[in-house]
Structure formats: C-alpha cells, structure tokens
Amino acid sequence: MMNTAEAVLLALLFILMTIGFTKKLGAEWAWINRKLIHLSIVPAILMFYWGLIPAKIFSGTAFLFGATQLWPHLKRRELSWYQIEHNYGEVFFAFSASAIPLVLPAEYATALLLAMAVSDGVTGIIRHYYFRKHGFNVKLKKHWTGSVGYFITAIIIAFLFLDIGIIGKMVWAGILTLTEYQGWVDDNLAVPLVGGVIFFLY
C-alpha cells in the first residue's frame, strides 16, 4: 500500500506528464488538451477516495494549480497549448476542485469531482470533433452530442459512487448535464455549485 507522499507524487506525475504531452500536441489542439488535463486528475481523485490523499492535501495542491494557471492569464501570456485568452475555465476547475473535498463528504465529493473531470472531458472531446467535422468554432460552441456523452458518463459515476436510488442517480446526472450545457455561468463553477446544492437538498 502506498503512503501519502507516494500517492501525491504519483498523482502529480500523471498530471505533469499529461501537461507535457499536450504541449507536444500544440495550440491547434488547445480544446482537446484542456480536456485531457481535466482527465489527468482522475488518479488523484481515486486516491483521495481510497484515503491515500487527505482532503487538505488534495485541496491545497488543487489550489496551487489554480493559482499557477491564473498567473499567465494575469500577465496576458497564456500557455497557448491549452489556455485560451479570456477563458478562465481551467482556473475555475482547479479552484472548484480545491473547495469540493473540504465541504462535501468523500463519497459525494468523489462523484462530483469525477463528473467535472471525466464527464466534462468526454463532452468537450465529442463536441470538438463534431464541430471540427462541421467547420464551426469549437472554442465557443456547445452541442447536444456532447451533452449525451456527459449524461451517460455522469450516470455511470452516480451508479458507482452514490447511494441515492436509481431515480436519484438519473436526476443527479440530468441536472449536472443541464448545468454544464447552460451558457450563462462557466460550467467549471456552475457544476460544483449546483452539485453542492443537490447534496444538501438530498
């Protein structure tokens, strides 16, 4: 069994290797690169769930990632292979991931974090390829095809990690899907906020 230091190191290594890989893909794949980096925190989330990474360490590390990613935006020197000018989604993602383990129980926090990482990652990749094929601006558009991917993966996550009944799991996945699709508030803020409200309502 790994100790905390080994678990943190392994999780960080996976994230940093993914960032290095996306840098090689380059700015042309910025939208896909963002989603791959989202997906790269899955090992950290699972190790948090298994108790290998304490909530405070997970939270503190995520906060540092958020602050590190905010700095290039403030300097107007975005990391072009995955950061997009005036789009702070990856910063909101990291700060949200920092807050969730501190305010929600581990099981529910895990489900919500996985929805943010996996479901959002899958929907973004689906939409990228849909709009790339149809010639639209993949940086700005959302489409129902991505939402189907989000809903399916969110249901799977709910069945694996939530104990709220079959209907409750489907409702949870459906609400998060609609929250991700709406265009008024960045989904990296809206999904964790709505997900948190759902927990307290349940």
- Sequential pLDDT tens for the chain (202 residues): 789 999 999 999 999 999 999 999 999 898 899 999 999 999 999 999 999 999 999 999 999 999 999 999 999 999 999 999 889 999 999 999 999 999 999 999 999 999 999 999 999 888 877 767 666 555 556 777 888 999 999 999 999 999 999 999 999 999 999 999 998 999 999 999 999 999 988 7
What's the pTM? Answer: 0.93
CA distances from 69 to 78, 153, 173, 174, 182 (A): 9, 27, 29, 30, 24
Token reading at 27: 């700015």
Give the CA dihedral 168, 169, 172, 176, nearest 10 degrees: -160
What's phi and psi for 131, nearest 5 deg? -75, -30
CA distances from 39 to 3, 98, 122, 172 (A): 23, 16, 9, 21
pLDDT confidence of residue 135: 60
pLDDT confidence of residue 144: 79
Q: How far is CA 105 from the centre of its chain?
A: 18
Token reading at 60: 């503190």
Residue located via tokens 């960045």: 186
